[in-house]
Copies of this chain bind each other. A is one copy, B any other.
Amino acid sequence: MDVKIGLIGKGNVGSCFLELLKKKENYLHKEYNLRIIVIAIYEYDGALINEKGLDLDKIISLKERFREHKDWKDNIKPIDSMQKINLDLCIDTTPTNPDTGKPALNHIIDALNNHIDVISSSKGPFYLKYKEIHELAKKTKTYIKYEATVASCVPILSIKDSLNGNEITSIKAILNGTSNYILSRMTSEGVAFSVALKEAQELGYAEADPTLDIEGYDAAGKLVILANELLNWSKTISDVKIKGISKITPHTIELAKLEGFTIKHLAIAEKDILFVEPRLIEKDSPLNIGGTLNVIKLQTKYAGPIIIMGRGAGGYEAASAILNDLISIQKLRKRSIE
């Protein structure tokens, strides 16, 4: 089966996805009889478009200079182009404004309205307009998937399909690698928040403006998606009570240590309430993970806790989640055709 796809955003995640697609070309064909044909790659100022399929090898080798490719055209917008070129599936990897979800939200709505299936790695649209997006997908009979939005490669959204014989009752998680790295360093080295933050920035774990990470907004967005998906809630980020970690001092951590606790920036969904805040957890808790990892603890009704962890960020990590979404959608499409 040929699947014609358009990629929106050729940043780190988008570029890694193209590379992964090349590496997995034979596997996709052999295992699923899938031939993925990338016919459009959109950037903010134009697009690479070739309706017979873009030359990915060439585009990958051009790296940042992809606009020099013969198929590049200036000033093309996804909304104008996607109707014309008959896309089967659209992959959105654009960075989004945390308050409006744009431009990703617009790309998603445009694609769904054009009856094009969507995969997204942008959180914003889903913590702002979860219900509306799903209603639109239902109305337009399209599939929408977004595994990469929460904990990147960790399959925490699709795991739901493996727990239908059980029932998830609450969620506790560490969903932001930056704040976890900072707290881990403050705990192991006894350094001040500002020192640990600076170190994280030097290592590339924290952005120049780390507000969204350290104040809990990033984790809160992911928590909304988790709760809506796994607990069948219908929340937005404005429902989350959010407290950051910038007021935590080495002294606070030391006091916790004395009693066998450590401090983690937890995202919690339980009893219809969502919150992100620094909390004491026992030193031996499986949630006590170091570095930039993400961890999610699902409390279940019939089998205690199930805990899953892995890297919460990274280009290939997100790309592998996107590719799994793509395979899942094609399986569903295939079944609906049969």
Binding site for B on A (CB under 8 A): 20, 24, 31, 147, 152-155, 158-159, 161-166, 284, 286, 289-290, 300, 302-311, 314, 316-317, 319-328, 335, 338
A302 touches B165 (CB 8 A): no
A174 to B151, CA, bound (A): 24
In the A-B complex, the 4 residue pairs with the smallest Cβ-Cβ separation, listed nearest first, are A165-B323, A155-B162, A165-B324, A153-B303
Distance of A18 Cα from B203 Cα, bound (Å): 54
- Mostly, the A contact residues are mixed
Copy count, this protein chain: 2
Bound complex: CA A154 to CA B162 (Å):
9
Most chain B CB within 10 A, of A165, A316, A320, is at A165
**Given contacts A153-B166, A161-B161, is CB(A286)–CB(B302) below 8 Å?**
no
A284: chain B residues at CB < 8 Å are 290
| Pick from B304, B309, B314, B320: contact of A286, CB under 8 Å | B309
- Rounded to whole angstroms, the CA-CA distance of A335 and B334 in the bound complex is 10
Of chain B, the residue at the smallest CB distance from A298 is B310
Cα distance A250–B24 when bound, in Å? 48
A1 to chain B, nearest CB (A): 15
Known pairs A162-B159, A321-B165; A304 contacts B308 (CB<8 A): no
**Are B302 and A319 in contact, CB atoms less than 8 angstroms apart?**
yes
Min C-beta distance of A304 to chain B, whole Å: 5
What are the residues of chain B within 8 A of A152 when measuring CB–CB?
303
CA distance A284 to B302 in the complex (A): 29
Is the pair A317, B303 in contact by a Cβ cutoff of 8 Å?
Answer: yes
Query: How far, in whole Å, are A316 and B323 apart by their CA atoms in the complex?
Result: 34
- Nearest Cβ in chain B — how far from A232, in angstroms? 10
A154-B306, A163-B324, A303-B314 given; 18 more Cβ-contact pairs under 8 Å: A31-B164, A153-B166, A153-B300, A153-B306, A163-B320, A165-B321, A165-B322, A166-B320, A166-B324, A284-B290, A286-B309, A302-B319, A303-B310, A304-B310, A305-B310, A306-B309, A307-B310, A308-B309
For A291, give the chain B residue with the smallest CB separation.
B284
Query: Within 8 Å CB of A166, what residues of B?
Result: 153, 320, 323-324
